[in-house]
Amino acid sequence: MTDDDALVDFHEADARPPTAAVVASLAAAGVASTAGAVAGPAGGALLGVAALAFLVGSFRRSSRVLGWGAAVGVGGLALAGYRGAPAEALLVAAVGLTVAWDIADHGVGLGEQVGRGARVRRNVAVHAGASLLVGALAAALVYGVTLAVGGGQPVAALALLLAGGIALISALR
């Protein structure tokens, strides 16, 4: 539907996701794919497939397609990590993937509830900002901890550290 059609035939219930959300999601997915390509070509390709799925899911207003896209993206992360990708690239790819999925899914929900024509930019910006902030903080925290404890620690030790962190958080709540 072009803009002219929209003017001639105004319908309030245009349930497609708002443009701002789709664009922001694609940008984040692009960052994730680029970081994935740096980490490893196969993983990068899977992250590219995930970006495509986010686009398709946005156009078809389907959270299910978005979910499958996210699953493919996680598969891409696993493949890249298995092939020995550098931690920095993998962290950026993980945060990018999550933010991209989050905004796309948020956009689908917004489309359902307020529609494409409504003013949503502030809402999308706040949501995307919060999501990005959380990802950045989490990545910075784990990366900082890894640097602090030194590179030579066994992987199991890192996992145990993480398990301890989770236990601490759930105890605090």
> Over the Cα atoms of the chain, what is R_g?
19
Smallest gap from residue 56 Cβ to another protein (A): 19
Rounded Cα distance, 84 and 77, in Å? 11
* Beta carbon of residue 76, minimum distance to another protein (angstroms, whole number): 11
Tokens of 55: 């686009």
String of DSSP letters for 126-166: HHHHHHHHHHHHHHHHHHHHHHHH-TTS-HHHHHHHHHHHH
- Minimum CB distance to another protein, residue 30 (Å): 18
Compare residues 53 and 94 and give the one whose CB is closer to another protein. Answer: 94
* C-beta of 60 vs 137, nearer to another protein: 137
Rounded to 5 degrees, φ, ψ at 80 are: -60, -40
Which residues lie closer than 8 Å to 29 by C-beta, 6 or more apart?
A: 47, 50, 51, 54, 55, 96, 97, 100
- For another protein, which is the closer residue by CB, 48 or 107? 107
Q: What is the token pair recorded at 75?
A: 């598969």
Least distance CB 26 / another protein (angstroms): 19
Residue number with CB closer to another protein (30 or 115): 115
Interface residue list for another protein (CB under 8 A): 10, 12, 14, 63, 67, 70-71, 74, 77-78, 81-82, 84-87, 90-91, 93-95, 98, 102, 105-106, 109-110, 113-115, 117-120, 122-127, 130-131, 134-135, 137-139, 141-143, 146, 153-156, 158-159, 162, 165-166, 169, 173
Q: Which letter does DSSP use for residue 171 in this model?
A: H
Smallest separation (angstroms) from another protein to the CB of 55? 19
